Structure 1
Amino acid sequence: MRAIFLDKDGTLIEDVPYSVNIDQMRLTWQAGQALQLFQTLGYALFVITNQAGIAKGFFTEEALVPVRQRLDELLAQYGVSLTGFYYCPHSPDGVVPHYAMECDCRKPLPGLLERAAAEHGIDLSQSWMIGDILNDVEAGRRAGCNTVLIDNGNETEWRRSELRTPHLVAPDLYFAAHVIAAREGPLPALHREASRP
């Protein structure tokens, strides 16, 4: 099995910092269509997200349950379903003792991707990590994935290294999906039609 690993905030849904308000959740531009294409190509779909707001006391782990449910509802409109939703609740500068720690699951470390791969039999070398900051790219590269940076203005530090160099750069998830699909051969008919101006 191969997978598309997706950062949540700023990549899959519009970035509202430290928010678990489901009324504020909006898919990014044509994200539903992008995931349709990935699903058509046979990729399993996973969310891989840092949720430091838990460690910082802004919300609880339980608050992510309706967030996941709302995300499933938004994607169901496109016939898309997630195989998994993995999050890191930790932060070394957190204030909630149980979560205020260094860990191996907080991006840019690859722990969440490796856990998803182990639990679902994913071939990481045939998979992609897509995110809007270079920490996402580094996590993907450390896990052995191909990587895409969604260059939408959310990366502000630009600390460069070999591990933080994406395989592809795209302006949005929809563009990234079509570039990845084009690498695999002709697009399915439905998506050829949808991509025409």
Structure 2
Amino acid sequence: MRDAWRGAAFLDRDGVLNIDHGYVHRREDVEWIQGAITAVKLLNDHGYFVFVVTNQSGVARGFYSETDVKSLHHWMQTELARQGARIDDFRYCPHHPDGTVGAYRMACRCRKPEPGMLLDLCDRWPVDRTRSFLIGDHLRDLQAAEAAGIRGHLFTGGDLSEFVGALLARQSGDGPTASPPPPA
């Protein structure tokens, strides 16, 4: 049995943490969504795991590499740490069925709306799905959340910290910690 079962906040990247300028893959292209860093810190302070789950079809399309994605995520983590915030883990899907790079041209269970990235994180971390949620900016994000058995919330813009604060206020119970789900 796992220790420290906790709720998790699964965050889409482009359109939730940073403005989606289209195939963002360099730090100079990152423009944080208003309140994004504060929102991550708020989730940390409330005891949630914080995960990023992002489709990155730019890899399959040959616009940038997986190394670029990992480098950007490392930089984002460093920027968050400067403000006392952290992402516990990142998952990205480099695949797309219409990709131009053969190794990445495929449909896979990780590409949202499929739940693969979320399920992988739930398998690797002691996540209590009943206390977890996803914030995304597209229907495919919400479909992935539903398929993974967690609540999904559509973020349409504005201040992410206000959005997260309102979600936390509506969460039932006394916080993100709960008993583990029954064994499967």
* Residue in structure 1 matched with residue 164 of structure 2 by the alignment: 177
Q: Confirm or deny: 8 A CA contact 2:41 2:86 kept in the other structure.
A: no
Give CA-to-partner distance per residue, 1:132-176, whole Å, 9 cap, x none: 111111111111111110113xxxxxxxxxxxxxxxxxx442222
C-alpha displacement of 1:177: 1.0
Q: Cα RMSD between the aligned structures?
A: 1.8
1:56-100, Cα deviation, whole Å (9 max, x unpaired): 111111111220121112211321111100000100000111110
Per the normalisation by structure 2, the TM-score is 0.86
Q: Give the Å deviation of 1:184.
A: 4.3
Return the alpha-carbon distance in structure 1 between the equivalents of residues 163 and 24 of structure 2.
26
> Could you tell me whether the CA contact under 8 Å between 1:148 and 1:176 is conserved in 2?
no
Q: Which residue of 2 aligns with 1:18?
A: 23
Kindly indicate whether structure 1 or structure 2 has the higher relative contact order, using CA contacts under 8 Å at least 6 residues apart.
Answer: 2
Q: What's the % identity of the aligned pairs?
A: 37
Q: 2: distance between equivalents of 1:99 and 1:184?
A: 38
Partner Cα separation in structure 1 for residue 129 and residue 107 of structure 2: 24
Instruction: Say if 2:117 is the partner of 1:112.
Output: yes
Equivalent residue number for residue 142 of structure 1 = 147
Q: Is the contact between residue 151 and residue 172 of structure 1 (CA under 8 Å) also seen in structure 2?
A: no
Report Cα offsets for 1:82-125 as digits up to 9, x if no partner. Answer: 11000001000001111101110000110000000101121222
TM-score in terms of structure 1 length: 0.81
- Cα distance in 2 for residues equivalent to 1:89 and 1:116: 17
Correspondence for 1:161:
none
1:54 alignment counterpart: 59
Distance 2:26 2:112 in 1: 23
SS of match in other structure, 2:101: coil
Candidates 37, 43, 68, aligned match of 1:32 = 37
Question: Deviation above 2 Å: which 4+ runs of structure 1?
Answer: none
Note the residue ranges of structure 2 that are not aligned, 5 or more in a row.
1-5, 173-184
In structure 2, C-alpha distance between the alignment counterparts of 1:33 and 1:62, rounded to whole Å:
27
Q: Distance in 2 between matches of 1:68 and 1:124?
A: 25
